[in-house]
Chains A and B, each alone.
Chain A
Amino acid sequence: GAVVSQHPSWVICKSGTSVKIECRSLDFQATTMFWYRQFPKQSLMLMATSNEGSKATYEQGVEKDKFLINHASLTLSTLTVTSAHPEDSSFYICSAAGLAGGSSYNEQFFGPGTRLTVL
């Protein structure tokens, strides 16, 4: 299947610093990328949806000034957690949707996730 990578896979930072997470679709062009957050023993919660070259659409309750999303190309999206606080500690997962592997319909593929710990 198609591959979506995330970098870094884990990060520990001090409170007040900013952290950038990269999401790349490695073998297909992602028309849409999704950013999810998952707290322990909870289901994935959608934070925002982004299309290449346009502003991200944020879900209710997600601060767009705190979670900056850039979808600069069809293979790269970044999520920057600005002025991170301990309550931002979570598992962040990106997902990319596009036509992959000769498929005739958009499929959604998930990245391996980034574990953020804010001290």
Chain B
Amino acid sequence: DTGVSQNPRHKITKRGQNVTFRCDPISEHNRLYWYRQTLGQGPEFLTYFQNEAQLEKSRLLSDRFSAERPKGSFSTLEIQRTEQGDSAMYLCASSLETSPLNGQHFGDGTRLSIL
């Protein structure tokens, strides 16, 4: 169990640029989640995959955001035309399709800073 891996750990970019983050879940986990955390808040749900299918998206996920999970393995989250309000920690989590009481395993996140 190597844990959930996220890259890059930090991303600094200018407003208007596109950014892409990657998440490698625990290998046998078929569920993958993206969350966003801003200062002083708890993580907020963005989207969820079961295998390669994106099954739920939050209203927080505007048209500028897109997430993929090709072949049901790693996932990418892309933000187009970044805005100041996109500055946040982006967290990825994975889990098996078992009881929700087993929790989700989180990566250490990608911190995005928009200049």
Q: Do A and B bind each other?
A: no
Query: Which residues from chain B sit less than 8 Å from chain A, CB to CB?
Result: none
